[in-house]
Structure 1
């Protein structure tokens, strides 16, 4: 009996009734298997993660603390910042733990959970960027009706709809992956449980899974990008009709930050997935995916704080209040 047990390692998978194999763990190979690179990767990704969290928290703090930013545009921006924090937090902390503990293991349940939340917050980013595009379209093309159209109830409804569609979309993917059966090849050449990489490991027929994933992903990305482009075409035509050059600049400057974030998000994510089919190196694909999973959420706060004067002023006022408050409290205590 002992010899029979040693043939199949119990920590990798266990057998159930019939011929189906239910695995219990995957191995995340990460960005590199070179031991000397692990400290460098740990320091780099820890720094990027801390910058991402702090930068997006500052955006949320600025929009909450400054009454001038209590508008639909900044309401959506604070939700986008929250989504970016969660988006990065689904992948980077696990990667850092694996590097620190020199372990590559992630449980089957942990992998499915990571895929679920990663897809939720990726979809939430897409839907929130669409809501922000609609907000800019109404502000530029229908300025006299802006406050009536973009009322608080509609803003809350758009955010709630974004959450609902993101969760349902992610739940579909997670359920379809959980129906697949896996064999003994459990190594994922990535630093997180990336959906395409996990499906490739399945030893059962994944044709239906692939068709549903590609159809829903292309429908979501295609319709979202089409709407954003349509909105900005209408915005450009409206801006061109403004008689003064100063008015044109002011109108366009309100859209510049959002347009920069949209361009960065779609260019990096689409670039990774379009190049994934042309590269034979899974590690190259994993390295490229760092752009939209880590770098883009980190850059968003910088784009909005540098290109948006209202955010810059709000952050400055916030820091000035804290600077004044500190000596004042110390003086009262003394």
Structure 2
């Protein structure tokens, strides 16, 4: 009898990905081969590490849904070649054509492979704010990818989404009702989730993290993210979560490492502010309960500084 990935993770503890593993799938530009999470829903789990030549920029999850009437892809990938590699894996699973691509936000690993999909004649859908990010910053995002990816960037040109939406974009295809939803401000402009209500599975994008530390950008407003989480994301009641980074899991895990981390860091910074502390010391507030997460060393002090700068004026 066939076994799928998620049930084992639902009852288990958090699984840790290693940054020391350069590539789990040497035969492909993909960091790892796609796995079937639940029937019809697949994800190629990226490295929980910064983008590098060794992982070809595949440090997020590239997912696809085989509906019976076509394939829906979530994330364009970080480069033309990475999108092509994902398509090869899709073709190994099904002869159904790819009919739609969603960009989970406007970051490079979500959009830089768009031109491959556009060449295939596939519509590319994103939130209006994500499309604006690509329009405003896409050139610099592309150049940054070329610097780390070298020859693996070949063929990549900037391609924005071909369709946009503001609140939701719903597709009925085969056995699936696929709801792309903008829930509110979260990690980055235009973050969306893909909700499959019949399967109780959410492809959360960067709304939810668990195996790697979440990054707080200049435009990441943590109070708003927490409000969106409580008011909208929890309300989905998802059984299964494919996060933006890391292995498929459940709500308990992403709640612990996303909402829990944001609340913890804000409490630490709040106490520091009440004690009259400044920015220089704020970088070093205690974050040891999260030190086991991948990218902790790269992100913890930056996160603390940005939360201090936000909370100083709240």
Larger Rg: 1
TM-score, with length taken from structure 2: 0.27
Q: Which has the higher helix share?
A: 1
Q: Which has the higher contact order (CA 8 A, sep 6+)?
A: 1
Q: Which has the higher strand share?
A: 2
